[in-house]
Structure 1
Amino acid sequence: MAVTASGLEKTVVARDNPLTILSGLDLQIKSGESVAIVGTSGSGKSTLLGILAGLDLPTAGSVSLAGKRIDHLDEDERAKVRGEHTGFVFQSFQLLSNLTALENVMLPLELAGVDNPGERAKNLLTRVGLEHRLEHYPRQLSGGEQQRVAIARAFAGEPDILFADEPTGNLDEKTGESIIELLFEVNQGSGTTIVLVTHDMDLARRCQRVLKLHGGRLEEIS
């Protein structure tokens, strides 16, 4: 399994009152599968994604990523697992503003010690249609172009699992549709497992499974 969660609980304290976000949640995602998690605003979708990706810890329960249990690891150990197995695409793009498009994609490759990171980064940016934007900074790019850079960066390390949090959320409808097409097109050749959170049902329906988060638990709707 690419992702496994068992008995997942998440409780936070808001204004001195405990708030249960996840309650006894179980989930299994096979390698190579694409899964969308939908739900109302505030239902805990992004919280769940963060826990599955090892960015946050559950209050109780277990989480395994690429066959490795991560809920008992410290941040440095979780970061190592994330670096080896995952890629991320966020609604806010999260590009480094002082780096060019090329440098943003090169950075994870350099950190991983990949040979010829510049060449691989150029190939990825060409693949997402940005070969003419290599030396542009994020502020010089449209929202759609920034998300294309983010997708190239996410696939740079050839991740086993791609996590995406509202990847079309900051984009207009037409641009969002092109990003959806690009995300699955780039993924086709890699066989990467995709786990995404979205309010966009067109995007959700592109996935093999659609799960709805409600009352702290998941139910399969397609």
Structure 2
Amino acid sequence: MSSALMLDVRTITKSVATQEGALDILRPISLQVMAGESLAITGASGSGKSTLLGILAGLDIPSSGEVYLNGHCLTDLDEEGRAQVRAENVGFIFQSFQLLPGLTALENVMLPLELRGDKQAKTLAMKFLRHVGLEKRMQHYPQQLSGGEQQRVAIARAFASQPKTLFADEPTGNLDSHTGEKIIDLLFELNREQGTTLILITHEERLASLCQRRIELSAGEIISAKDI
């Protein structure tokens, strides 16, 4: 594993205004993740996990504090700058899939590769769709796929980009146990073979236990942090 620092989070908070006043979603949080590490973020619903993941990935900005991703200070950049950093460094697996309905499974996986000018886009996309067991569904549109199949397309898309850091929000949440096991194996294969930094939210104990480190959130604070 590399000793380079991939993620450096410095005393971030997140508050939103409500009719009753400011609501603190994240209280001061600091953490560091080295390149190639795997980190599980756990905690009950409403503990701030998804908000934290979004800030770490540069999809959102904190109310205070700083986030450095692969040396880039996300909190100093505008949305265009953060989008550029994400394009160069980050892959996502969302709970809501984020597939484009007018594109086939294959085209959805190819799109980010084509946008960055990858001449092997189709080959890579087909390879990772086969990896997730969708070799017979490549020409289907999202509405023709089950929820679990759509999740697998989203996972193939994230893997095909071969990102430096992969952020995953409940990556096995919509999958049956057999497919979930295959996806878990894929996640850690990517982490191990390509040195991809893996940061994931999960309620699944087996998935959390496979990560090298684990933090638990409660009411927007880290209440425990341990190496596994």
Are residues 1:38 and 2:42 paired?
Answer: yes
RMSD over equivalenced CA pairs, Å: 1.6
CA–CA distance in 1 between the matches of 2:189 and 2:132? 9
CA deviation after TM superposition for structure 1 residue 174, in Å:
4.0
Are residues 1:7 and 2:6 paired?
Answer: no
CA–CA distance in 2 between the matches of 1:169 and 1:46? 14
What is the SS of the residue equivalent to 1:76? helix
Quote the residue 2:140 is aligned against: 136
Name the CA shift for 1:147/1:184 in 2 (closer, same or farther; >3 Å).
farther
Quote the residue 1:220 is aligned against: 225
CA–CA distance in 1 between the matches of 2:193 and 2:123? 19
CA deviation after TM superposition for structure 1 residue 68, in Å:
1.0
Q: Is the 8 A contact 2:38 2:191 kept in 1?
A: no
CA deviation after TM superposition for structure 1 residue 187, in Å:
3.6
Tell me the TM-score normalized by structure 2: 0.91
Are residues 1:152 and 2:156 paired?
Answer: yes
CA–CA distance in 2 between the matches of 1:173 and 1:120? 26
Tell me the amino acid that sits aligned with residue 220 of structure 1: A
Quote the residue 2:193 is aligned against: 189
Which segments of structure 1 move beyond 6 Å, counting only runs of 4 or more? Answer: none
What is the SS of the residue equivalent to 1:119? helix
What is the SS of the residue equivalent to 2:32? strand
Quote the residue 1:90 is aligned against: 94
Unaligned runs of 5+ in 2: none
Equivalent of 1:106, from 100, 105, 110?
Answer: 110
Q: Which moved more, 1:192-201 or 1:171-180?
A: 171-180
Quote the residue 1:52 is aligned against: 56
Residue pairs, 1:156-167, within 5 angstroms? 156-167=160-171
Percent identity at matched positions? 57
CA deviation after TM superposition for structure 1 residue 216, in Å:
2.5
Are residues 1:121 and 2:133 paired?
Answer: no
Tell me the amino acid that sits aligned with residue 106 of structure 1: M
CA–CA distance in 1 between the matches of 2:29 and 2:79? 23
CA deviation after TM superposition for structure 1 residue 193, in Å:
0.3
Tell me the number of residue pairs that the alignment of Structure 1 and Structure 2 aligns: 222
Q: Is the 8 A contact 1:147 1:179 kept in 2?
A: no
Q: Is the 8 A contact 2:15 2:24 kept in 1?
A: yes
Tell me the TM-score normalized by structure 1: 0.93
Q: Deviation digits for residues 167-215 of structure 1, max 9, x if unmatched?
A: 1223344443332223223443221000011122221111111110124
Q: Is the 8 A contact 1:211 1:220 kept in 2?
A: yes
Q: Deviation digits for residues 125-157 of structure 1, max 9, x if unmatched?
A: 223222222111122223332222111111222
CA deviation after TM superposition for structure 1 residue 81, in Å:
0.2
